[in-house]
Amino acid sequence: MPTDNGSADLDRLRRRKSRSDSSNGLLSDSVSGNGTSPSDDTGAPADEDAQGTANLAGDTGGERGGVEAFRPSVPAHRRVRESSLSSDAIFQQSHAGLFNLCLVLLIAVNGRLSIENLMTYGLLITPDFWFTSTSLRDWPLFMCCLSLPIFPLASFIVEQMVLQKHISETVVIILHIIITMSEVLYPVYVTLRCDSTFLSGNTLMLITCIVWLKLVSYAHTNYDMRALANSADDKANPEVSYYANLKSFAYFMVAPTLCYQPSYPRSPCIRKGWVARQFAKQVIFTGLIGCMTEQYINPIVRNSKHPLNGDLLYAIERMLKLSVPIVYVWLCWFYCFFHLWLNILAELLRFGDREFYKDWWNAKSVGEYWRMWNMPAHKWMARHVYFPCLRRKIPKVRYILVICNDRDYFMCFITLTLLSFFFQGSAMIISFFVSAVFHELLIGVPCRVFRLWAFMGIMFQVPLVFITNYLQERFGSMVGNMFFWFVFCILGQPMCVILYYHDMMNSKGSMS
């Protein structure tokens, strides 16, 4: 009968409630000793209150039992729990919903900015961004790029001569210095003499820097292998064998690496379909970079003022507005070059070691970012600059504090660098110094502006390394990562773009 079944269900619910209350210490000792043993709930899951409603509903027979489970006499609070956003529980659960919210807000904000940009400037994307009638004036840079293989060939001839004992070790060093210096000065001279576009000059200087780094690695590695081969030390590496092979050297010059070695790990085959898909992505993202540059970055930069001569609040507003498209362009460029292009080149050459970058976006400090975002350059710097400095007994890190006024800031900066370089320099400062020189070549020479903004921007990373290391040790990894993104997105790149643009426009105005 329905009435009997309902009474039985109610009695079963009360008995289960009594056992649950006894196990949680909610009943008196007399009740807990009259028929309920603590062992009745032994083995219950830790999340008892999460499954209690479902269990009660199943025991009482469906919907009627579920309603009975929420009687006022059933305990609603059974154990100590933390709020979901408390510091003890926030990292123990999924945040997929908040990530989706941030994604929706990102789409909404960027959609509004895109509509506002179109309403203000109209459609600015034209084919002139890639090729115009003035692009024909860049032919000397193209011819200079085609003539760069002369310098690797000269380096190979030098190594052949020393292998055959025709020249001494001192002469080898002098010849390699002349070759590498000529390889840099020749494209710089051509770029400065020709009225070329920034894109053409930047491409030529990028290729020049890559060839220079490869030539230095080739000369330094061969010098070290000769030293090990001529050494009587029993601890010399038996795998090192010095020989000058034109085939291995030519492979190194086109391989996606900056560190020379006679042989490299190779992949078994070339995946042609995979290469075609990656090349299609390369074309798409390259076009996306051009569109964002022409439509979003150029109008903001043209309508800005020099940040060091204008209103401070106006300069901050321009940098904040410019930071969003610049970060998008930089991320697309990173994906195009370090992921797509280097992997395409590695696949075509069957180059096996494809660790071209690590998860630099999770960097907890500025130093960790520089060790992770560009692995070919990091390996070259560690192999040919940092650890050779340590072997020369140059300390790793040195704390420096210099106070200078606004007028003499540049001379103080140069004096600081030279003093630390020649007298009590550190391996880290020397590494950043080499990196700063090449960043200035990549940006200053194509712009024909030598205010050393890129150089000082890279050298400014040295104190930031100490600051972010302190923040990481003092407050944890999240604070260091947030500070890194702030410097990377808002303070660094937008400021550098505005400074170089206005200095370049002022230089052209004074020349005309």
Position 375 confidence tier, pLDDT thresholds 50, 70, 90: very high
The pLDDT of 22-28, averaged and rounded, is 41
Residue 166: active-site member: no
Write down the pLDDT at residue 313.
80
Q: Locate 343 and state its tokens.
A: 């992997």
Window from 14-18, 134-138, 338-342 with minimum mean pLDDT: 14-18
Q: Which amino acid is at 147?
A: S
d(CA 240, CA 280): 41
pLDDT exceeds cutoff 50 at 499 = yes
d(CA 264, CA 350): 10
* Region of residue 148 (phi > 0: left; psi between -120 and 50: alpha; otherwise: beta): alpha
The backbone torsions φ and ψ at residue 227, rounded to the nearest 5 degrees and listed phi first, read -65, -40
DSSP classification of residue 74: S
Q: Max CA-CA distance within the chain?
A: 112
Write down the pLDDT at residue 349.
93
d(CA 478, CA 483): 9
Give the three-class secondary structure for 351.
Answer: strand
d(CA 257, CA 259): 6
Non-local CB neighbours of 14 within 8 Å, separated by 6+ positions:
none
Q: Locate 56 and state its tokens.
A: 């009660």
Q: What torsion, rounded to 10 degrees, do the Cα atoms 63, 67, 69, 72 define? A: 180
The pLDDT of 158-183, averaged and rounded, is 90
| Catalytic one of 176, 384, 439, 502 | 439
d(CA 26, CA 18): 9
> Regarding predicted confidence, which is higher, 297 or 346?
346
pLDDT exceeds cutoff 60 at 13 = no
Q: Locate 360 and state its tokens.
A: 């630099």
Quickly list H helices, 255-393: 272-292, 298-302, 312-334, 342-349, 366-372, 375-381, 387-391
The backbone torsions φ and ψ at residue 351, rounded to the nearest 5 degrees and listed phi first, read -80, 125
The backbone torsions φ and ψ at residue 85, rounded to the nearest 5 degrees and listed phi first, read -100, 10
For residues 304 and 318, the answer to whether their CB atoms sit within 8 Å is: yes
- Within a 13 Å sphere around the CA of 237, how many CA atoms are in the beta-carbon half? 9
Contacts of range 172-180, beta carbons closer than 8 Å, 24 or more positions apart:
172/219, 172/223, 173/223, 176/215, 176/219, 179/151, 179/154, 179/155, 179/215, 180/151, 180/212, 180/215, 180/216, 180/219
- Within 10 angstroms of residue 163's Cβ, the number of other Cβ atoms is 14
Euclidean distance between the first and the last CA atom of the chain, given in angstroms as a whole number: 105
- Within 10 angstroms of residue 92's Cβ, the number of other Cβ atoms is 8
Nearest-5° Cα angle at 451, 449 to 454:
95
| Percent of the chain whose pLDDT exceeds 90 | 21
d(CA 24, CA 44): 12
Give tens-digit pLDDT for 276-322: 999 999 999 998 888 888 888 888 888 777 766 767 787 788 888 88
For residues 258 and 380, the answer to whether their CB atoms sit within 8 Å is: yes
* Region of residue 62 (phi > 0: left; psi between -120 and 50: alpha; otherwise: beta): left
> Regarding predicted confidence, which is higher, 510 or 249?
249
* Region of residue 65 (phi > 0: left; psi between -120 and 50: alpha; otherwise: beta): alpha
Position 417 confidence tier, pLDDT thresholds 50, 70, 90: very low
Position 37 confidence tier, pLDDT thresholds 50, 70, 90: very low
User: 137 to each of 132, 147, 198, 252, 441, how far by Cα in Å?
Assistant: 10, 18, 12, 32, 21
Give tens-digit pLDDT for 238-278: 555 566 688 889 999 999 999 998 889 999 899 999 999 99
d(CA 258, CA 121): 43
> Regarding predicted confidence, which is higher, 398 or 101?
101
d(CA 205, CA 278): 25
Enter the pTM of the model. 0.73
